[in-house]
Structure 1
Amino acid sequence: MKKWLTAIILLFVAGALTACGGTESKESGSEKTTATEETKEIKIGATAGPYSDMLNKAIKPGLEDKGYKVEIVEFSDYIQPNKALNNDDIQANLFQHTIYLENFAKENNMELTALISVPTAPMGIYSNTYKSLDDVKDGATVTIPNDPTNGARALNTLEDEGLIKLDPNANPLTVSEKDIKENKKNLKFQPIEAGQLPRSVESADLAAVPGNFALAAKMDLLSALALENMLDQYRNVVAVTTVNKDSQLAKDIKEVVESDEFEKIIDEQFKGFGKPDWMK
């Protein structure tokens, strides 16, 4: 009987110790979760190029000052950054303008929100033929983007520079060649893929090149004969999921972008970028 009693007591003690060990392991895991939350580890996506640079130089440092550990994730296309955001693989992204964001979200049934617009590389009118738009001759060729959104931007810019007149009743976001009401210099338009526009400077008299493609081709924005007076809908935005638009992270991102330090870095390192209305 004594042997049986001893065995039962030993089993009871062993069970109690195991239970205690399980509790300690669970508590350790809980402490680890809390520690991770305290470091505020986040990922922000961007396409490689100027907006990845903007995140690294002008936004990441400000967030790190607020206690975040920030990883910048670069993408090579305009589809994956929104998919990653929607899947919570990243917590924000910066690469697209409002029109693209809204259309993409609608077409893919995603709840994404533009948090704040940032300075954006504008479309420029470039030429190796002319040194001034005042010198443009009758019948000059002009290459413009063949997609509707960037095509409209090109025509609006040409109108702002007095080279054409568009139908005043047309929506500036959707204008096309059919909306041209006056073309005194008989400009000949050649719509081509946006990615080919930097090359077209060599062959056309004028080329309307979107800022991101100009920078990718190592073109100097300030060498353009004219830069776009960009509508805010075309300025790039920091996007988040709609459910997180009022989160602390969203508030902190806005605070960083609205800071004097952010604008100082833009002025020093992103020359030629057009500022959104809220910064003016």
Structure 2
Amino acid sequence: MKKWWGALLAVVLVLALAACGGKDGAQGDQEKKELVVGASNVPHAEILEKAKPILKEKGVNLKIVTFQDYILPNKALENKEIDANYFQHIPYLEAQMKENGYDFVNAGGIHIEPIGIYSKKYKSLEELPEGATIIMSNSVADHGRILSMLQEKGLIKLKDGIDKTKATVKDIVENPKKLKFKTDVDAGLLPQVYQNNEGDAVVINANYALDAGLDPAKDPIAVESPKNNPYVNIIAVRKGDENRKDIKTLVEVLQSKEIQDFIKKEYKGAVIPATE
């Protein structure tokens, strides 16, 4: 009798452990395979949605979390709420790491969004009058690219030898038209500022322009050149995670011909593949 009860208890214990182990193992595998990526609505989340079924075939279940600003995606990455983010360019990432002490790395470049200058009052930069107000975002990391574009167009001159990606309004040494710069507007509000006809020209990032129904390839009165453009939008991860298999797979898929061709076809020049 004792032997029978002992055998029965042993069988029950084995089954219980197997059930628990199987459940935990399945959950563990699922958690490892789910990749949570934070992204801006447009174009980043749209590009990720296109990549989702391809990643699924490769064993990676992609979960996309969208953000409306440029601050929270890095905070979420730092707090391990997401595994990676896809919304920022390299100079912005570098500025954020310096300012906040983030230990992030660039896992791979995906696309470029040439920034544009919009105006409801003038059809070209040359038409801007003396004392015109140019409104741009409070993201200092974008100021250098904007000022570089204005220098290329002959409207201002920056200090000789300045790192153009780090230039600010204070680095302007020549300003023949006495242009004024308003730099305290959140980047996500710039399309609304433009629609409200504020200022004489508004500089809008392509992702926010697209999200607001603007055409960054046709609507601006000036667009920065994509040639040798350092403002590549990247996949950012915590240092060390760039070697994770799922992160490498994500970058490989986003850099694949299928996704890069989708970017060209879908955005018609408003967003440009980084591989070009």
TM-score range, shorter chain: 0.7 to 0.9
**Contact kept in structure 2, 1:105 and 1:112, CA below 8 Å:** yes
Structure 1 residues 101-147: Cα deviation after superposition (integer angstroms, max 9, x where no partner): 33434555443211112223332111122223333344433223344
1:142-194 deviations in Å (ceiling 9; x for gaps) = 22334422232221111122222212222212222332232233333333414
**RMSD value over aligned CA atoms?**
2.9
Residue in 2 that maps onto 1:210: 205
Q: In structure 2, what residue type is equivalent to 1:11?
A: W
Counterpart of 1:279 in 2: which secondary structure? coil
Using a 3 Å threshold, how does the CA distance of structure 1 residues 188 and 105 change in structure 2: closer, same or farther? closer
Q: In the alignment, what sits opposite 1:198?
A: 191
Match of 1:60 among 43, 52, 59: 52
Distance 2:267 2:98 in 1: 32
- Which region of structure 1 is more displaced relative to structure 2, 65-74 or 181-190? 181-190
Greater Rg by CA: 1
How far, CA to CA, are the matches of 1:248 and 1:104 in structure 2? 26
Instruction: Give 1:3's aligned residue.
Output: none
What amino acid sits opposite 1:36 in the alignment? Q
- Structure 1, unpaired ranges of 5+: 1-5
TM-score normalized with structure 2 length: 0.82
2:236 is aligned with 1:242: no
- Could you tell me which residue of structure 2 aligns to residue 173 of structure 1? 165
Runs of 4+ in 1 over 6 A off after TM superposition: none
Partner SS state of residue 220, structure 1: coil
**Residue identity (%):** 34
CA distance in 2, matches of 1:262, 1:56: 10
Q: 2:249 maps to what in 1?
A: 252
Give the one of 261, 264, 267 matched to 1:267: 264
1:120 aligns with 2:115: no
* C-alpha spacing 1:76/1:274, structure 2 compared with 1 (3 Å): closer
Q: Which amino acid aligns with 2:223?
A: L
Alignment of 1:2-151 (within 5 A): 6=1, 8-26=2-20, 28-29=22-23, 32=26, 36=30, 40-57=33-50, 59-151=51-143
Equivalent position SS for 2:111: coil
- What is the number of equivalent residue pairs in this alignment? 271
Q: Is the 8 A contact 2:42 2:208 kept in 1?
A: no
Structure-2 change in CA distance of 1:34 and 1:211 (3 Å): closer
Q: Is the 8 Å Cα contact of residues 206 and 271 (structure 2) preserved in structure 1? A: no
In the alignment, the residues of structure 2 paired with residue 190 and residue 31 of structure 1 have an alpha-carbon distance, to the nearest angstrom, of 55
Is the partner of 1:267 in helix, strand or coil? helix
How far has the Cα of 1:74 moved from its partner? 1.9
Given the two structures, how large is their TM-score scaled by the length of structure 1?
0.81
For residues 79 and 143 of structure 1, the distance between their equivalents in structure 2, rounded to whole angstroms, comes to 20
Deviation track 1:199-223 (CA, whole Å, cap 9, x = no partner) reads 4441333222232332343222121
